[in-house]
Structure formats: structure tokens, C-alpha cells
Amino acid sequence: MNPGDIVLIRFPQTDLQTGKLRPALVVAVAPGRHPDLLLALISSRAYQTTPDFDEIIEASDPDFETAGLKVRSVVRLARLASVEASIISARLGHISSTRLQLIRSRLIDWLQK
């Protein structure tokens, strides 16, 4: 798995209960012996988007097809999880490096506030 990949995972609920099988974006891979993945949840519920924070992937976007998503989706940047790579069910595709940089910049800005 690499940053920018879209994967399929049982994304944990915020109460740590097992979630449904969902797509997620690999934001980063942790350095060191344990290459855990930092993931951001992807949802088809674009109406839940936090404006100027979350990232919407539109069907008309150049990287929509390579992302492997079926419908317009939102990368929910406040819904993060760090997981072992071994629990990934599948790799669906990837987003553009430009979009990944934008997403990382938004996360950095949020964390520095």
C-alpha cells in the first residue's frame, strides 16, 4: 500500500465497534518496523461534507476513474484511523498526487490550529 491508494477496509466506528466494509484513502505509511497505515474514511454521503476541509471526488474529476470508486464520494478528513496493512481487504485504485498533496495540506493546517 502507498499514500494515495484507495483501499477497502472494515473501517472502525468512532466508538471502536467494527464498522462496515468501506473505501478509505491511504494518507501516509508510518515509518519503522511497523508500517501501519493512516487512513481517511471515504463516504458516498457527500451531503455530510465539511466545506473547505473534506475532499469531494466528483465523477467528472480526472482521477475519478483511477480511484476505483463507483459514485461521487467524499474523503472525510476528520475520520482517521491508524491500522495494520494486513487488515486491508482490497486495493481499489488511487488518487492523483496533486489531490493527495491538497488533502495532506488540509490535515496539516487542521493539526496546527
Q: CA-to-CA distance for 74 and 72, rounded, in angstroms?
A: 7
CATH number, residue 22: 2.30.30.110
- Distances from the Cα of 72 to the Cα of 5, 7, 29, 95, angstroms: 17, 16, 26, 13
- Output the nine-digit C-alpha cell for 23: 473505501
Q: What is the pLDDT of residues 58-113, one digit of tens each?
A: 999 999 999 999 999 999 999 998 989 988 999 999 999 999 999 999 999 999 98
Structural domain count of the chain: 1
Q: Say if residues 44 and 71 touch (Cβ distance below 8 Å).
A: yes
Q: What is the pLDDT of residues 38-59, one digit of tens each?
A: 999 999 998 889 999 999 999 9
Q: Which domain holds residue 40?
A: 5-112
